[in-house]
């Protein structure tokens, strides 16, 4: 399974944009890039995912490099509630569906200062 | 819609005891899985199921059993608890459609003395 590399920690001030990087140099053509986050004492929650094109949703934006070897999760205006561990995960698509297996690394601990 | 529920929230066991962690989902999801999370680590997959009657091993299956008799429930059994199984356990589910989003339960914090 393709691996991802993320910084251990990042910091931001409230209401500033945050760019969380992820390297996935061994990504295959069928791997989707997923981001989940885990708030303190909670289970992970889905943030966003994409394959090749940049993606936006109400929580964040996902910018994917043209060669797909890296991606960046963008939080446009960080809030205190965004303080969490962010996981960048690759998924394998088989026969039109993933096998549902998520491989979590240690993720990036985001600290947001008021 | 309750989503994914887990019971109990906390549990303390003695070495050698057995117990079952319960997981249920009300979203009619085919896929369910169990993860464990140790301090400072990401989640590791224990077992998963792609539908009723079908289960398979993940990365760290030793010491755990699962079964899937219904779509809704996916219990995780610890046969003989060991201190190394002290961890937080998360259950997750997803549908088979293209959205691919996994929904996680709130977790069970297990301590084995």
Spatial distance between the Cα atoms of B33 and A109, rounded to a whole number of angstroms: 24
Contacts A58 to B, Cβ<8 Å:
none
Write down the pLDDT at residue B39: 85
- The pLDDT tens digits for A37-95 are 999 989 999 999 999 999 999 989 999 999 999 999 999 999 999 999 999 988 765 55
Higher pLDDT, A105 or B54: B54
**What mean pLDDT comes out for the span B78-101?**
87
- CA distances for B106 relative to A7, A71, B91, angstroms: 26, 28, 8
Q: Angle B56-A89-A65 (CA atoms, 0-180°, nearest 5)?
A: 145
Give a three-class secondary structure readout of chain B: CCCEEEECCEEEECCCCCEEEEEEECCCCCEEEEEEECCCCCEEEEEEEEECCEEEECCCCCCEEECCCCCCECCEEECCCCHHHCEEEEEEEECCCCCCCCEECCCEEEEEC
Write down the pLDDT at residue B63: 96
Write down the pLDDT at residue A1: 54
pLDDT of A96 higher than 70: no
What 3-state class would DSSP assign to A97?
A: strand
Distance from CA of A66 to the nearest CA of B (A): 23
**Percent with pLDDT over 70 in chain B:** 96
Higher pLDDT, B95 or A99: B95
**What mean pLDDT comes out for the span B57-72?**
94
A8 at interface of B, judged by CB pairs closer than 8 A: no
Span between the terminal Cα atoms of chain B, in Å:
36
Minimal Cβ distance to A87: which of B42, B92, B98: B42
Write down the pLDDT at residue A31: 82
pLDDT of A104 higher than 90: no
Say yes or no for a CB contact (<8 Å) between B101 and A46. yes
Write down the pLDDT at residue B103: 92
pLDDT of A98 higher than 60: no
B52 at interface of A, judged by CB pairs closer than 8 A: no
Residue B85 — very low, low, confident or very high, per pLDDT cuts 50/70/90?
A: very high
Contacts A34 to B, Cβ<8 Å:
100
**What mean pLDDT comes out for the span B58-68?**
93
Minimal Cβ distance to A32: which of B41, B44, B100: B100
Write down the pLDDT at residue B42: 83
Cβ atoms B21, B110 nearer than 8 A? yes
B58 at interface of A, judged by CB pairs closer than 8 A: yes
Write down the pLDDT at residue A2: 59
Contacts B105 to A, Cβ<8 Å:
43
């Amino acid at each position: 399974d393709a691996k991802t590399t993320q910084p251990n920690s990042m910091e931001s001030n409230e209401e500033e944009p945050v760019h969380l990087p992820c390297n996935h140099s061994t990504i295959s053509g069928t791997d989707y890039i997923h981001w989940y986050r885990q708030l303190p004492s909670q289970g992970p929650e889905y943030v966003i995912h994409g394959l090749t094109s940049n993606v936006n949703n109400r929580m964040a934006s996902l910018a994917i490099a043209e060669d797909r070897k890296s991606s960046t999760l963008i939080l446009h205006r960080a809030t205190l509630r965004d303080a969490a561990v962010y996981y960048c995960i690759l998924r394998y698509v088989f026969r039109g569906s993933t096998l549902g297996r998520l491989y979590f690394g240690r993720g990036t601990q985001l600290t947001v200062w008021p | 819609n309750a989503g994914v529920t887990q019971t109990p929230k906390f549990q303390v066991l003695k070495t050698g005891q057995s117990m079952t962690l319960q997981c249920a989902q009300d979203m009619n999801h085919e896929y369910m899985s169990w993860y464990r999370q140790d301090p400072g680590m990401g989640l590791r997959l224990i077992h998963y199921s792609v539908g009723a009657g079908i289960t398979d091993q993940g990365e760290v299956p030793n010491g755990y059993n699962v079964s899937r008799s219904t779509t809704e429930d996916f219990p995780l059994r610890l046969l003989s608890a060991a201190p190394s199984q002290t961890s937080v356990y998360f259950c997750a589910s997803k549908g088979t459609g293209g959205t691919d989003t996994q929904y996680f339960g709130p977790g069970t914090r297990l301590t084995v003395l």
